[in-house]
Amino acid sequence: MIHRKMWLVLMAAMIMLGCPVGAYAGGPVETNIFAVQGVEVDVTDKDAASAKNKALVEVQMKAIVMLARRLGNESLATVIAGMEAKDVLPLLKSLSIEEENTGPGRYIGKFTVRFLPTKIYNLFAQYGVNVAADQAIPMLVIPLWKTPEGLVLWEDNPWRQAWIDLHAEQSQVPLVIPLGDLEDANAVTLEDVLELSPVKLEALRRRYGAKTVLVTTAEAVEGGGIHATMAGNSELGKITFDKSFSSEPPSPEASAALAASRFHAVMVDKYRSDKQKAVAQSEAESGYGDGGESSSIPVAVPFTSPSEWNGIRSRILSTPGVIGVDVSTLAGNGAVIRLMYVGDLTEMQNSIQEMGLTLSQVGGSWIIQPLT
């Protein structure tokens, strides 16, 4: 039986149900960082109505774990997954149905779930995660896939699917992927994209409410990997990616997903780095946090996984005296950063060591890595 407080929240949510979001209707895409799109549920119960009621609870539980993973890390997501439904439902702002189907004792649906910003701030802060709610200007990404017969634009392919599956519309650097429906196909052709037709791409940009258009191309390479490129100007500056990726085990689909996630991770790191530099510059100009001369050094940061990188980066940024981390390059096994700090370098090494890391010189290069 559903708890009375949970039921009231459910009833409020059901009142707000019904209008698909713009991303699926073909229009400006919602980029709210506290929204989670494309949350799927498939629930059975004694009848369709009961199954739908269970689905409304389940979809919110799934959505908040997805939000914790996106705004925090895997550790936070694991903790949030252990919460009870009665504690999650009051965090809800609204739900929208994207798709739904019902049958005897079954409900299948896809939702957009929106949470209350202040409540999410407070919840995640309890676990040491400070949510950065500021976002870059949304960018429209047009994926092209190269086949032996030539490039394809709107047809289904691994590269286009990889960007769709990224679900980056509500990330800190929002990326919007065109629907590729009849309206898109009639408005923009492959030739228009290759020629970067300003009139045609402007119409597409306006349709989705983005501010920048980026074109990315990929093709399968021998061994199951892909070679991918991306180029264009954006709020983040000039974007130029040109790299090969191979998943483990290798397949064009998994390699495409890996490439899309890496491209996006670099964009997010660049955006965060720019924000940190802006804050550091503002503090320096205002005299806030002035602890002496500021300095910077290039540092290599090896890691084995994105989660390890996120953890190391968080500890670096939390180190007293560190005023910024500018990510120069980011690869699958390491990053090169410019460490900006105030005070003496020896003091900085001691401060970093207190955070469980070491800052040392190896072969003339500075390296930060966890203490062993």
pLDDT tens, residue by residue, 226-284: 999 998 888 888 888 899 999 999 899 999 999 999 999 888 888 877 777 776 666 55
Q: Pick from 157, 165, 186, 172: which is nearest to 271 by CA?
A: 172
- Among residues 205, 236, 269, the one where a domain terminates is 269
CA–CA dist 259, 270 (Å, integer)? 17
Same domain, residue pair 148 and 264: yes
User: Pairing relation of β-strands 226-234 and 237-245?
Assistant: antiparallel
Q: Is 319 a domain residue?
A: yes
Task: Flag whether 305 is in a domain.
Answer: yes
What is the average per-residue pLDDT within 282-310?
A: 72
Please check whether residues 310 and 236 belong to one and the same domain. Answer: no
How many other C-beta atoms lie within 10 A of the C-beta of residue 286? 9
Same domain, yes or no: 103 and 154: no
| 120 & 154 share domain | no
Has residue 286 got a pLDDT over 60?
no
pLDDT in the model for residue 1: 43
List the beta strands (DSSP E) in the chain. 35-44, 92-103, 106-115, 139-147, 150-152, 175-176, 212-220, 226-234, 237-245, 294-302, 322-330, 334-342, 357-362, 365-370
Contacts of 292 (CB under 8 A, 6+ apart): 342, 343, 344
pLDDT in tens, 182-199: 999 999 999 999 999 999
- pLDDT, residue 131, reads 77
Task: Mark whether 92 and 175 lie in a shared domain.
Answer: no
Instruction: Check residue 356 and report its DSSP letter.
Output: T
Residues 90 and 156 in one domain: no
Q: Which CATH number goes with the domain that contains 188?
A: 3.40.50
d(CA 253, CA 229): 16
Distance CA 36, CA 62 (A): 10
Q: What is the number of domains present in the chain?
A: 3
pLDDT of 8 reads 40
Task: Please name the amino acid found at residue 307.
Answer: S
Domain end (from 93, 125, 157): 125
DSSP class of 235: T
CA atoms of 108 and 100, how far apart (whole Å)? 6
Last residue of a domain, one of 72, 94, 125: 125
- Residue 237 located in a structural domain: yes
Q: Are residues 41 and 108 in the same domain?
A: yes
Instruction: Write out the residue range of the structural domain in which residue 25 sits.
Output: 4-125
- Assess whether 119 and 172 both reside in one domain: no
Residue 207 pLDDT exceeds 50: yes
If one counts every other C-beta atom within 10 angstroms of the C-beta of residue 162, the result is: 27
| Helix, strand or coil, per DSSP, at residue 220 | strand
The residue among 176 and 372 whose pLDDT is bigger is 176
In a domain, 82, yes or no: yes
Structure tokens at 347: 């003091």
Structural domain contains residue 286 = no
Asked, for residue 101, whether it belongs to a domain, the answer is yes
Query: Do the domain assignments include residue 320?
Result: yes
Tell me what the pLDDT averaged over the chain comes to.
Answer: 84
Q: With respect to residue 314, please indicate whether it lies within any of the assigned structural domains.
A: yes
CATH number of domain containing 304: 3.30.70
pLDDT at 214 over 90: yes
- Asked if residue 143 and residue 106 are part of one domain, the reply reads no
How far is the C-alpha of 149 from the C-alpha of 165, rounded, in Å?
25
| Whole-model pTM over 0.75 | no
pLDDT at 209: 85
Same domain, 178 and 258: yes
pLDDT band at residue 371, thresholds of 50, 70 and 90? confident
The whole-angstrom separation of Cα 139 and Cα 362 is 40
| H-helix segments, 110-251 | 117-125, 158-165, 182-187, 190-194, 198-208
Half-sphere exposure at residue 252, Cβ-oriented, CA atoms within 13 angstroms? 13
Orientation of helix 117-125 relative to helix 48-71, angle to 10°: 60
Q: If you write DSSP's letter for every residue of 117-149 in order, what string do you get?
A: HHHHHHHHHTTT-------PPPEEEEEEEEETT
Nearest residue to 322 via CA among 307, 343, 301: 343
- Whether 291 has a pLDDT exceeding 60, the answer reads no
Q: Are strands 150-152 and 106-115 parallel, antiparallel or unpaired?
A: unpaired
Q: Do 263 and 313 have their domain in common?
A: no
Residues 121 and 145 in one domain: no
Pair 332, 262: CB distance under 8 Å: yes
pLDDT tens digits, one per residue of 100-145: 999 899 999 999 899 998 899 889 888 878 776 678 888 999 999 9
Q: Would you state the structure tokens that stand for residue 117, as one six-digit string? A: 């910003």
Chain-centroid distance, C-alpha 260: 11
